[in-house]
Chain A
Amino acid sequence: MKRLRRLEEYLFRFLMGLSLVIVLGSLMLILGTMLWRGLPSLSLAMLTQVPKGGYYLGEEGGILNAIVGSLCLAGGATLLALLLSLPVAIYLHTYAGCSRAAHLVRLAMDVLWGIPSIVYGAFAFTIMLWIGLRASLLGGIIALACLELPIIVRGMDEAFRLIPSALSEASYALGATRFETATRILLRQATAGLLTAVLLAFGRGIGDAASVLFTAGYTDRLPDSLLRPVASLPLAVFFQLGTPFPAVQQRAYAAGLVLTVIVLTLSVVARWLSRRLMHHVVR
């Protein structure tokens, strides 16, 4: 009996260790592949120039169009999604609480979270056809905002739920309304969690290819209008990997590397920012 229990303990420790190796290993593999294959073709020209003629055949140029395009797409979409989801999250936490309506909204958000991004793309495309909008920055922003919305709402909802109810009660007990409590206390206390939610959504948005495929289109020019097509990094990776030229394929890895670095930089900045904003947070 005693030996069996010890064996069990060893077995599970081994299995957990194995999982850890698999998870960390695949992360390292991905990063390693990108660095190994992308770094050689990553040049200043690539970051500062738009594609010249014949770029996709291995000629001169860069992916500045996709870098700026992706930042515009994901930035716009995150802003739009944030504006729509903050009131929803506050409503869920402060007004709806544990009611049936709140339960339904949470369920809906979870379902939306699980929907594949190509469906959001198709959905946004249908709406665009309906209102006569062609593939454009605006179309891409709308599609990505739909994709990001449930992520932000659920993330914020969780951030609010971590706040002890006694803190809200302290505010209510002074005669504050729910709105005052939400805006003056809860937002402040949950800053770090809210920022994380926004960042998660931004990361998902900037990395998504399927939802911008029909809605934002692609172009070799820098974005100059909400109503014109824009390039994006995921599609830049997709198109470059699809060419038969090894040199261009290498550039796809470089583009992937740029995408990763953007997301990484943002999360570092956000962490630093949230630490500064957390000065007054009650722990």
Chain B
Amino acid sequence: MGDRPHIEVQGLSVWYGGQQALKDVSVAFPAHGITAVIGPSGCGKTTLLRSMNRLLETSGEVRISGRVLLDGTDIYAPKVDVTEIRTRIGLLASKPFPLPMSIYDNVLYGPRIHGLCRRDNADATVERYLRAADLWEEVRDRLQSPAHALSTGQQQRLCLARALAVEPEVLLCDEPTAALDPISAQRIEDLLRGLKRHMTIILVTHILRQARRLADFVVFLWLGELVEAGPAEQVFNNPCNERTRAYLMGDIG
């Protein structure tokens, strides 16, 4: 673990219309490893996640105040290029949404728009990232078939391959196993565990056992407020806050 936080959220508040979803949240996400954001439904987990790649502002009436620092630079600063932020910070959504094109083109979508894909290395790029997402063996013979023909579990791994193909340094995962069967979910978990050595993974989950299995750090949100954040061992075994203890015991939430 690096000493300096990779992403630092400072005094972040978010309003949807008149409703406040996040209340003055300040929290640091260490570089590398998996940080799990836990809390009951509607506590602002996803809002926090979507604030970090500025996807929040694409959805209608949202007001955001506060700062989100990526390696010390505020991603909400006026001159920041939002597409560059989103290239550095990837996303794995809760429901896989393959793009309306072939498996092959799905993987290359990111590299192509960023001009990273040369004709002579396209095939190698596709293979590399499909392997990284543990999908290559299953699709190597049908790379040109439509991506939506894959099973949901395979689609989610394709979405992972697609995200990895732009070489992000941070991967935001928004309940990435919510739509999947247990075996597919297991594979995603294994992949995340392997990826955390090279990248910072922020995992939103409402499955406590998943957080226990995967997390190195834990952030606990409750009704839009940050309650507790710290190393997984400490938060799970010896929480400082009474509400965290109650949530972990299953008394609330």
A interface, CB within 8 angstroms of B = 97-98, 164-177, 180, 184-185, 188-189, 279-283
Q: How far is the CB of B92 from chain A (nearest CB, A)?
A: 9
Lowest 6 A-B CB distances belong to which pairs? A175-B87, A173-B91, A174-B110, A175-B86, A175-B83, A170-B97
Q: Is the CB of A176 within 8 A of B83?
A: yes
B101 lies within 8 A of A280 (CB):
yes
With both chains docked as a complex, state the minimum distance between the C-beta of A192 and any C-beta of chain B, in angstroms: 11
Q: Is the CB of A173 within 8 A of B90?
A: yes
Q: Write the chain A residue with the least CB distance to B155.
A: A282
Could you tell me which residues of chain B, from 121 to 179, have a CB within 8 Å of some CB in chain A? Answer: 146-148, 159, 162-163, 166
B166 partner, pick from A168, A175, A189, A281, beta carbons under 8 A: A175
Chain B residue with minimal CB distance to A283? B148
CA distance A120 to B53 in the complex (A): 48
Contact of A280 among B61, B93, B102, B109 (CB under 8 A): B102
CB closest chain-B residue, reference A97: B60
Q: Is the interface of B mostly helix, strand, loop or mixed?
A: mixed
B59 and A165: CB pair below 8 A? Answer: yes
Contacts of B166 in A (CB 8 A): 174-175
- B58 near A177 with CB under 8 A, answer no
With A and B bound together, what is the CA distance between A273 and B229 in angstroms? 55
Give the Cβ gap from A242 to chain B, nearest Cβ, in Å: 51
Smallest CB separation, B99 vs chain A (Å): 6
Interface size class of B (residues with CB under 8 A): 20 to 34
Task: Check B114 for interface membership: any CB of A closer than 8 A.
Answer: yes
CA distance A172 to B83 in the complex (A): 8
Contact check, B58 vs A168: say whether CB atoms are below 8 A apart. Answer: yes
Apart from the given pairs A165-B58, A280-B101, 12 other A-B contacts in the complex at a CB distance below 8 Å: A98-B61, A166-B95, A173-B86, A173-B91, A174-B110, A175-B84, A175-B86, A175-B114, A180-B113, A188-B101, A279-B146, A282-B100
| In the complex, per-residue mask of B44-62: 1 if CB is within 8 Å of any chain A CB, else 0 | 0000000001010011110
Q: How far apart are A21's CB and chain B's nearest CB, in angstroms?
A: 41
B98 within 8 A of A: yes
Find out whether the CB atom of B148 lies under 8 angstroms from the CB atom of A173.
no
How distant is the Cα of A165 from the Cα of B55 in the complex, in angstroms?
Answer: 11
**With the chains together, A39 CA to B61 CA distance in Å?**
59
CB nearest to A281 among chain B residues: B100
Query: In the complex, what residues of B have CB within 8 A of residue A97's CB?
Result: 60
Chain B residues with CB under 8 Å of A167's CB are: 97, 99-100
Contacts of A280 in B (CB 8 A): 100-102, 146-148
Residues of B within 8 A of A164 (CB): 97
Hey, which chain A residues are within 8 Å of B84, CB to CB?
Answer: 175
* Pick from B102, B114, B146, B159: contact of A170, CB under 8 Å: B159
0 or 1 for each of B74-88: is its CB under 8 Å from A? (1 = yes): 000000000110110
Question: Is there an interface contact between A282 and B87, defined as CB atoms closer than 8 Å?
Answer: no
Q: Which of A177, A185, A189, A279 contacts B83 (CB 8 A)?
A: A177
Kindly list chain B residues whose C-beta atoms are within 8 Å of the C-beta of A172. 55, 58, 86
Residue of B nearest to A185 (CB): B99
Give every chain B residue within 8 A of A184 (Cβ-Cβ): 109, 113
Q: In the bound complex, how far is the Cα of B87 from the Cα of A21, in angstroms? A: 58
- Enumerate chain A residues within 8 angstroms of B61, measured Cβ to Cβ: 98
Contact across chains for A188 and B95 when beta carbons are under 8 A apart: no
Residues of A contacting B109 with CB < 8 Å?
171, 174, 176, 184
11 contacts between A and B (CB under 8 A): A166-B97, A173-B53, A174-B166, A175-B86, A175-B110, A175-B113, A175-B114, A177-B113, A184-B109, A282-B99, A283-B148
**Shortest beta-carbon distance from A154 to chain B in Å:** 21
A22 to chain B, nearest CB (A): 40
